Amino acid sequence: MSNQSPSDGSTARIGRTPMPEQDPKVRARNFKEVPLGFTPDMAMREASRCLHCKKPLCREGCPVGVPIPDFLALVAKGDFAAAAEKVKETNALPAVCGRVCPQENQCEGRCLLGKKFEPVAIGRCERFVADYQRETGRISVPKKAASNGQKIAVVGAGPSGLTVAGDMILAGYEVTLFDALHKPGGVLMYGIPEFRLPKAIVEAEIASLEKLGVEIRCNSLIGKTITVDELIRDEGFDAVFVGVGAGLPTFLGIPGEDLGNVCSANEYLTRSNLMKGYRFPEYDTPVIRGKNVCVVGGGNVAMDAARSALRLGADTVKIVYRRSEAELPARAEEVHHAKEEGVEFLLLTNPIELLGDDRGQVRAMRVQKMELGEPDASGRRRPIPIPGSEDEFDTDLVVIAAGSRANPVLTHHTENLELSKKGYIVATESGRTSKPGVWAGGDIVTGAATVILAMGAGRTASKDMDTWLKSGKEGWL
Amino acid sequence: MIPIVSNRELAPNIYEMVVENRILARRARAGQFLIVMPDDHGERIPLTIADYDVEAGTVTMVIMAIGTSTRKLVKLGPGDSLYAMLGPLGNASEIENYGTVIMVAGGVGAAPIYPIARALSEAGNRVITIQGSRNKGLLFWVDKLASVSSEHIITTDDGSFGRKALVTEPLRELLEKETVGCVYTIGPAIMMKFCAETVRPFGVRTIASLNSIMIDGTGMCGGCRVRVGGETKFTCVDGPEFDALAIDWSIATARQKSFCEAEKCSLDRYIELNGTK
Ligand SMILES: Cc1cc2nc3c(=O)[nH]c(=O)nc-3n(C[C@H](O)[C@H](O)[C@H](O)COP(=O)(O)OP(=O)(O)OC[C@H]3O[C@@H](n4cnc5c(N)ncnc54)[C@H](O)[C@@H]3O)c2cc1C
Ligand SMILES: Cc1cc2nc3c(=O)[nH]c(=O)nc-3n(C[C@H](O)[C@H](O)[C@H](O)COP(=O)(O)OP(=O)(O)OC[C@H]3O[C@@H](n4cnc5c(N)ncnc54)[C@H](O)[C@@H]3O)c2cc1C
Ligand code: SF4
Ligand code: SF4
Ligand code: FES
């Protein structure tokens, strides 16, 4: 074992510890996790690169303020269980965040070391300690406050809802977690593929919530099966948290989009992940196994769809994205992995039409080349079509990953809930909605964002909920 | 888990299954559907709520066993339970007094049309039902449908019962001689399409209940999308009922074909593992 003292900085200049990974050729055909994780030695070596800055910028970059230098110091000492506890002070799902956070824009993006050398691999260390704790069974059971008899309903079992459920059960409330699907987890279960986030990890987190006493009611579409108003009025819930995510797929609005074998990334990934379509016919739900697949979009969702397509046996997979590489919104690591695995990137390319065969199934995509003009409202340079640059290629499966909108089922069946023009729930900084006793957070408030932001919103809301309930439901907005 | 109360064969390959689901029974309205998963390896498949009993807390489905999932379902009986059930989903039928309403049911469509016919009849409509079937043996719920109809016409393709005709023939005749406020059509896509074409010249409001392929049933995946009046709609949240004259039927039917090969592969495997039935 390496024995560097944690803060002398002498190891800072040594390169970032590489993460062992499955070979790209092999992994592009299986659904096993791609990065294999640090060994204890690797984690200690990497953590000891941290300079323990007086003003840790990394921590400012983390939306939930994980005490990064403190936990890294514990890792460097080899006290992994204590390090995991340290992370969990502010982040309930480190095994998830260590894997899926866009670290380059968050903690690692701000790391001082990154200015001259490579940033500390904070995410990988976080993942390591969480895995270590889970795999060695050294999870200390958190202390639960004495039961106060008040009831909390959490709607949506994605990262925001899971966070609220965990916080509130520990604070002594009775918590019921509702989800529309037959399995809790939200995007962590139905969206992000196994090769990036093994479902066993999500299941373990949910099992620990159940062990703490959270009651999980799946197959409950709030707004249809039962409404928010009924939860409060008839079922006696004292407060409700709404974390239903942004699960309404956006389509492109181009001709041919309703042909067969054209699907949203949500459909494709739900079939493959949640329904285990990748194991069809052992599981009954099929997923289209395209030979020449086109995925439209450049975010994490697009990368997940493209890499799933390879694993489902495609010969070629193209990412069609209308801006340039610099604007790709996906995590850098996912883009890198996708390229290594053989996904082709058709950048500055926009689909304009899908063509069908005589059975009404897609057979080709027509595209147009783009160039970047002036920055638009989002601050990114606006893509402008280049006249005469049309091109066409064959495809037998088109997956559209062009973003999502607010799902209207809950919001349209809840009285007096203020929505934005785009249909998202309007909430204050602490998550209060226009409806007393109802909080909201995560993608249904912000629009599609990240796991850690959804968790952060859940944490903020549960603190405020606790205060409001302890104050005897005093005041609202 | 959803306990099964009963399951009986109504006609060859058509089963009536009653399950216990108190919350769903309380909420259900005519025209809505639910999603079931037979077991934890199963698919999520949509089925219409064919009947419900608030007091008993039960929900009735009528299932035509065609592929793996429906075959798995109809094999179950009292003592078994379903892995998952979500609902009620979709919009309830708009129950108004249209005067005279014609309800056209094809095959297993007799089941979903029943609660709507009942509700329309209770709302004071004169309900004329046309129930079409390939042959006599496949007819079911004849008495039930008759009990909520002022007039009940049965057609079979082979003339083994009722009139030897397609449902569109009596439909056209009725439209020619009566003032009709609304037409409902539920059955195979091709039948609904021909009903729409039959009504079109008469300009009568016509409603079809679409049976798109679905996964979540909550508006999340977009798999159930159809084009109606030039707009993309999701059957599970915007439907399942749409203006039959505005539906793009070629897209609706093409989108049902995407999984043909997989469905066959799944069924072959199922038969291999379970024998023919
Ligand atoms: C394919 C994909 C890949 C992604 N990759 C990353 C990544 O690498 N890193 C990252 O940080 N973020 C990523 N994201 C984004 C991230 O997953 C989301 O921002 C995050 O999950 C949002 O959490 P949430 O709690 O708001 O809701 P969600 O995770 O969306 O969960 C919402 C839950 O609510 C349920 N629900 C919806 N409506 C109802 C209702 N009416 N009643 C009951 N339940 C309901 C849903 O079934 C779902 O389980 C990705 C997203 C996708 C789709
Ligand atoms: C809103 C709605 C309500 C429905 N109500 C009922 C009902 O009350 N009773 C009932 O028996 N069925 C109903 N269906 C159809 C039912 O969902 C399908 O028959 C079922 O999903 C088939 O599953 P399977 O695995 O058994 O067959 P599969 O193997 O999936 O399919 C076998 C054959 O059926 C065709 N098929 C597949 N899916 C559908 C579909 N959605 N509609 C029509 N044909 C299809 C396939 O092309 C194939 O030829 C409804 C569908 C919808 C969308
Ligand atoms: S939660 Fe995410 S942003 Fe925060 S330290 Fe961990 S990996 Fe970085
Ligand atoms: S900014 Fe980088 S070097 Fe400084 S404390 Fe954070 S992780 Fe360590
Ligand atoms: S079934 Fe997924 S959106 Fe309708």
CB B51 within 8 A of CB B198: no
Residue B201: partners with Cβ closer than 8 Å, 6 or more residues away: none
Stated length of chain B: 277
Type of residue numbered A41: D
What CA–CA distance (Å, rounded) separates A164 from A244? 13
Q: In sequence order, what are the beta bridge partners of B85?
A: B36
Q: Give the chain A residue nearest B253 (alpha carbons).
A: A360
Mean pLDDT of A414-434: 94
pLDDT-based confidence at residue A385 (cuts at 50, 70, 90): very high
pLDDT at position A45: 93
**Residue located nearest, by CA, to atom 1 of ligand 3:** A97
State the alpha helices, DSSP H only, in A78-118: 80-88, 94-100, 107-110, 113-116
Contact of A302 with A295, CB cutoff 8 Å: yes
Dihedral of the alpha carbons of A253, A259, A262, A266, in degrees to the nearest 10: 70
Q: Are B8 and B60 in contact (CB under 8 A)?
A: no
pLDDT at residue A13, rounded to an integer? 67
From the list B29, B236, B242, the residue with the least C-alpha distance to A249 is B236
How far is the C-alpha of B182 from the C-alpha of B100, rounded, in Å? 7
User: To test ligand 1's pocket by mutation, which of A228, A244, A446 has the most ligand atoms within 8 angstroms of CB?
Assistant: A244
Is A362 in contact with A398 (CB distance < 8 Å)? yes
Q: Is 60 exceeded by the pLDDT of residue A9?
A: no
Checking if the pLDDT of A4 tops 60, the result is no
State the average pLDDT over residues A185-191: 95
For residue B260, the model assigns a pLDDT of 82
Of the candidates B106, B35, B241, B114, which has an alpha carbon nearest to the alpha carbon of residue A219?
B35
Check: pTM over 0.80? Answer yes or no. Answer: yes
Mean pLDDT of chain B: 92
pLDDT for the residue numbered A139: 74
Report the pLDDT averaged over residues A420-431: 94
Spatial separation of the C-alpha atoms in residues B28 and A69, rounded to whole Å: 55
Nearest-angstrom CA–CA distance, A90 and B255:
46
| A107-128 pLDDT, tens digit each | 999 999 988 889 999 999 999 9
Cis peptide before A351 (omega within 30 of 0): no
* Tokens representing residue A280 in the block: 């069809």
Which range, of A187-196, A369-378, A397-406, B69-78, averages the lowest pLDDT? A369-378
Question: Do the beta carbons of residue A402 and residue A296 sit within 8 Å?
Answer: yes
Percent of the residues in chain B that have a pLDDT greater than 70, as a whole number: 99
The tokens of A224 are what? 């249809």
The C-alpha torsion from A375 through A377 and A379 to A382, rounded to 10°, is -40
pLDDT value, residue A6: 43
| pLDDT range class, residue A10, cuts 50, 70, 90 | low
Cα distances (Å, whole numbers) of residue B213 to A66, A222, B126, B255: 44, 22, 33, 8
pLDDT band at B261 (very low <50, low <70, confident <90, very high): confident
Nearest to A288 by CA among B210, B223, B218: B223
Extract the tokens encoding B245.
Answer: 């004259």
Contact between chains at A224 and B27 (C-beta distance less than 8 A): yes
What pLDDT is recorded for position A7? 46
Check the CA dihedral A80-A85-A89-A95 and report its sign: positive
Could you report the per-residue pLDDT of A53-92, keeping only the tens digit for each? Answer: 999 999 999 988 899 999 999 999 999 999 999 998 888 8
- What ipTM does the predicted assembly reach? 0.93
Q: What pLDDT does A3 receive?
A: 41
Dist CA A321 CA B170 (whole Å): 54
> Residue A428 above 50 pLDDT?
yes
Centroid of ligand 2 to alpha carbon of A172 (angstroms)? 46
> CA separation (Å) from A18 to A39, A125, A129, A141, A338?
11, 12, 17, 33, 18
Ligand 2 center–CA B212 separation, angstroms: 8
Query: Taking Cα atoms as reference points, which of A101, B94, A66 lies closest to residue A75?
Result: A66
For B108-159, how does the pLDDT look when each residue is reduced to its tens digit (9 = 90+)? 999 999 999 999 999 999 999 999 999 999 999 999 999 999 999 999 998 8
Given the CA of residue B236, which atom of ligand 5 is nearest to it?
A: 4
- Comparing B19 with B266, the larger pLDDT belongs to B19
Residue A407 is encoded by which pair of tokens?
């799902």
CA distances from B142 to A303, B109, B136, B138 (A): 53, 12, 11, 11
What would the mean pLDDT of B76-94 be, rounded to a whole number? 94
Instruction: Tell me whether B190 touches chain A (CB under 8 Å).
Output: no
Res A1: pLDDT: 38
How much is the pLDDT for B46? Answer: 96
Which numbered ligand comes closest to the C-alpha of A87? 3
pLDDT of residue B264: 82
Pocket perturbation via mutation, ligand 2, pick of B18, B191, B207, B263 by most ligand atoms within 8 A of CB: B263
Supply the pLDDT for residue B250: 87
10 Å CB burial of residue A363 (0-12, 13-18, 19+) is: middle
Q: Which of A224, A248, A286 sits opposite B220 (nearest CB)?
A: A248
**Could you tell me where the beta strands, DSSP code E, fall in A256-410?**
262-264, 292-296, 316-320, 344-346, 349-356, 362-375, 381-385, 391-394, 397-400, 404-405
Residue A324 backbone phi and psi in degrees, to 5 = -100, 175
Closest-CA residue to B128 (of B93, B153, B108, B96): B153
The pLDDT tens digits of the residues spanning B218-244 come to 999 999 999 999 999 999 999 999 999
